[in-house]
Amino acid sequence: MTAPAKLSPPVVRLPSVESTQAVAWRLAAEGSPDRTVVVADHQSAGRGRRGRPWTDAPGTSLLASILVRPRVPLGLWPLFSLTTAVAAAEALRRSTGLEARLKWPNDVLARGRKLGGILLESRSGAHAPALVIGVGLNLAQREFSLELAGLATSVALETGSAPARDAVLAALLEEFDAWRARLESEGGEPVRVRWLALGETIGRQVTIDGITGVAVGLDADGALLVEDAAYGTRRIVAGEIAGPAPASRGRAPDAARR
193: left (phi over 0), alpha (psi -120 to 50) or beta: alpha
Looking at residue 252, what is its pLDDT?
34
Looking at residue 44, what is its pLDDT?
84
Angle at 125 between CA 71 and CA 122, to 5 degrees: 55
CB 232 within 8 A of CB 224: no
DSSP 205: E
pLDDT in tens, the chain (258 residues): 333 455 777 999 999 999 999 999 999 999 999 999 999 999 886 555 545 555 668 889 999 999 999 999 999 999 999 999 999 999 999 999 999 999 999 999 999 999 999 999 998 765 678 999 999 999 999 988 877 878 999 999 999 999 999 999 999 999 999 999 999 999 999 999 999 999 999 999 999 988 899 999 999 999 999 998 888 999 999 888 875 444 444 333 333 322
- Round to whole Å and give the CA distance between 224 and 216: 8
Condensed to tens digits (0 to 9), the pLDDT of residues 114-130 reads 999 999 999 876 567 89
Domain residue extents for the chain: 11-200
Kindly give, in sequence order, each residue whose CB lies less than 8 Å from that of residue 203, ignoring residues fewer than 6 positions away.
Answer: 214, 215, 216
Q: Of 158, 177, 164, which is closest to residue 86 (Cα–Cα)?
A: 177
Q: Of 215, 163, 166, 222, which is closest to residue 194 (Cα–Cα)?
A: 222
CATH 3.30.930.10 fits 11-200, yes or no: yes
- Round to whole Å and give the CA distance between 153 and 131: 28
26 burial via Cβ count (<10 Å: 0-12, 13-18, 19+): exposed
